[in-house]
Amino acid sequence: MSGFHLPATAFTPEIQFTPSLGTLVMRGESYPENVLSFYAPVLEQLRQGLEDRKLPFLQVEMHITYYNSASAKAFQRIFQLLNRAAEAGSVVKLLWHYDEEDDMARDLGNNVREDYPAITVFDMPLAAV
Amino acid sequence: MLPDQFNRFVSSALAHNIVFFHSGHLDQETVASIGSMLRRRLQDEGASSVQSRKVFTTFMEMAQNIVHYAVPDEGEAEGKLGALSVAREDQGFAVMCGNYLATEQVSRVRHRLEAVKVMGPDRVRDAYRRQLAFEGTDPDSKGAGLGLLTMAASARSPIEFALEPLPEGERTFLFLKAII
């Protein structure tokens, strides 16, 4: 199976891609010192995984409690890959979790809906504690 | 530092309502630990969760700018040096940073700061979105200006800045201030 699992660190989220279940989960904070060197291999593995086996269904859960501006840019590359997989026939759902008071995170979810229309985006606002 | 000097230093920090101050080397580990310290301090200060998030977001972009772009202080072989501070002011929390830049970077930085300064909130949001979608790479910018737009989107008024060249010419002091 071409899945992978990266444990979370202080600056990078946990990332778990499980093709057999059709899931991709990202959870934690994202502000690696070098965003490219962290996300390039993630993108490459994800790209290969999505190409190896066409998934009928992929559920993507993103629970990123803090991301820096460079990570927001890296997320666009992930959305691009997901959009491509969706255009190729996979049903791709994105569960975008964010703090309901966080305008920028809410906007980012809306941008995905507009810019990557093959992905079905579900807003998952969390009430502030 | 003598006890009375230390007292004056502490009194001055209190008089300026300093919530947080760090000056010195910055690397990824330091940024992570001062970031979590700042979160605690904001909680203690009774900041709302929205305000806390925006202060933290702005602070982290400033800190990461220093890690990526600051040039060493005179007599230092290497390392990223900078000062970061959060203070309570009448209009909100002031998030400030100061560091040295290579003077050759100044015109690019000034141009960018001036362009963002005159944008209202809507134009900041549009510019942020355009930069996010921008696929090219700017060799001089590790985040393509997104960091500055993130600060501008978090602040309640335009980002204030000052660029002061040092007499030696090679370095320029950059000061940024965002009110949240």
B70: pLDDT strictly greater than 90: no
- Is any Cβ of chain A less than 8 angstroms from the Cβ of B77? no
Q: How many CB pairs under 8 A join A and B?
A: 56
Q: How far is CA B69 from the centre of its chain?
A: 12
Q: What is the CATH number of the domain that holds B91?
A: 3.30.565.10
Q: Which residue has the higher pLDDT, A4 or B72?
A: A4
Q: Judge: B150–A69 Cβ closer than 8 Å, yes or no.
A: yes
B63 sits in the region (left: phi over 0; alpha: psi -120 to 50; else beta) called: alpha
With contacts defined as CB-CB under 8 Å, which chain B residues touch A128? 49
Q: Judge: A33–B150 Cβ closer than 8 Å, yes or no.
A: no
What residue has token string 């001062």? B34
The per-residue pLDDT of chain B, averaged, comes to: 91
Percent of chain A residues past pLDDT 70, beyond the cut: 98
Q: What is the pLDDT of residue B72?
A: 75
Q: Give the SS3 label for residue A96.
A: strand
Q: What is the pLDDT of residue A128?
A: 62
Percent of chain B residues past pLDDT 70, beyond the cut: 92
Mean pLDDT in residue range A56-81: 96
Tokens, residue A33: 């010192």
Q: What is the pLDDT of residue B64?
A: 93
Nearest chain B CA: its distance from A82 CA (Å)? 15
Domain span including residue B124: 3-179
Q: Judge: B146–A10 Cβ closer than 8 Å, yes or no.
A: no
**All structural domains of chain A with their residue ranges:** 4-8+23-126
pLDDT band at B71 (very low <50, low <70, confident <90, very high): confident
Taking only the tens place, the pLDDT of each residue in B125-164 is 999 999 998 876 655 555 548 999 999 999 999 999 999 9
Q: Which residue in A has a C-alpha nearest to residue B148's C-alpha?
A: A69
Nearest chain A CA: its distance from B80 CA (Å)? 13
Q: Which residue has the higher pLDDT, B15 or B74?
A: B15
B78: pLDDT strictly greater than 90: no
Residues 6+ apart with CB under 8 A from B65: B97, B99, B147
- Is any Cβ of chain A less than 8 angstroms from the Cβ of B53? yes
Mean pLDDT in residue range B105-114: 93
Q: What are the C-alpha distances in Å from A88 to residues A54, A84, A91, A92? A: 8, 6, 9, 10
Q: What is the pLDDT of residue B133?
A: 86
Mean pLDDT in residue range A101-108: 94
Q: What is the pLDDT of residue B1?
A: 81
Q: Which residue has the higher pLDDT, B16 or B77?
A: B16
CA distance B28 to A105: 23
Structural domain count of chain B: 1
DSSP output for chain B: --HHHHHHHHHHHHHTTEEEEEEEE--HHHHHHHHHHHHHHHHHTT--HHHHHHHHHHHHHHHHHHHHH--PPTT--S--EEEEEEEEETTEEEEEEEEEEEGGGHHHHHHHHHHHHT--HHHHHHHHHHHHH--S--TT-SSTTHHHHHHHHH-SSPPEEEEEE-TTSSEEEEEEEEE-
Interface pTM, i.e. ipTM: 0.91
Query: Which residue from A19, A110, A103, A95 is spatially nearest to A63, judged by alpha carbons?
Result: A95
pTM confidence score: 0.92
- Is any Cβ of chain A less than 8 angstroms from the Cβ of B43? no
Taking only the tens place, the pLDDT of each residue in A6-61 is 999 999 999 999 999 999 999 999 999 899 999 999 999 999 999 888 899 999 99
